[in-house]
Amino acid sequence: MKKIFVTRIRQWYIFFTAGIFLIVAMLSGVLQPIFSNTQLTDKPQPIFHGNLAAPKIAFACNVFWGEEFLPKMLTTLDENNTKITFFIGGSWAKRFPDLVVELGNRGHELGNHTYSHPHPNTLSKDKNKEQILRAEQLVTELTQFKTTLYAPPYGEYNDIVLAAATELGYKTIMWTIDTIDWQRPPSDIIIDRVMKKINNGAIILIHPTESTAKALPELIKQLKSKGYTITTVSDILL
């Protein structure tokens, strides 16, 4: 009897400890990327990751500058037979239409990153829609491809931003892993940031920077060696 009692005490202790850990983790945001895609309300929700059951990951490259580094990145992607998602800024597309066409011609997925890179949370619903539609129109005119994925600048979103995107038929895409490559860290830091946190369905946020262009060949090699398929954001959402 004493042995059974001790065993039950241990079981309750394990359950209690696990429950406390779960609560603390959720409050601290550790589990946000895992639970953030779960629709708990009728309101639109942002997407932080893809299918957790499949060993697929996606690069989400936001483009509003860095055009000088895109050729090297594209060469690396071609050499590795890899397609990713480029979120295009409208005013950037207007200045570099040939690059937008090239991205599409090489088979990469194109997403929407607003027209002028404003702070979405400061805009009305109509102004948010205007930003998305102006970028969409430019990309469609150049590539005959209609964007359906939206990456809000600065990672900003609120109910108004999400509603604006949803009403236009867009999914709002965030990220699982932020390389913080806009700070131009050494390429090995970028690789380390990704490999430490990589998991099924991860969306890896990058930009066209010199550091990212240098890191990409080794990063792709390491990801593939871990058994991951690198694909587009739309593909990992399936």
How distant, in Å, are the alpha carbons of 16, 17, 231 from that of 6? 15, 16, 51
The strand pairing partners of 178, in sequence order, are 205
Residue 189 CA to residue 25 CA, distance in Å, equals: 26
CA-based radius of gyration for the chain? 20
pLDDT digits (tens, 9 = 90+) for 156-190: 999 999 999 999 999 999 999 999 999 999 999 99
Q: Say if CB 93 and CB 138 are below 8 A apart.
A: yes
What single letter denotes the amino acid at residue 84? I
- Specify the residue for token string 């593939």: 224
- Specify the residue for token string 């690059």: 99
| Topology given in CATH for the domain delimited by 39-236 | TIM Barrel (3.20.20)
Domain ranges of the chain: 2-30, 39-236
Residue 210 CA to residue 73 CA, distance in Å, equals: 9
Tell me how crowded residue 129 is: count the other CB atoms within 10 A of its CB. 17
pLDDT digits (tens, 9 = 90+) for 76-127: 999 999 999 999 999 999 999 999 999 999 999 999 999 999 999 999 999 9
pLDDT digits (tens, 9 = 90+) for 121-154: 999 999 999 999 999 999 999 999 999 999 999 9
Secondary structure of residue 8 in the 3-state scheme: helix
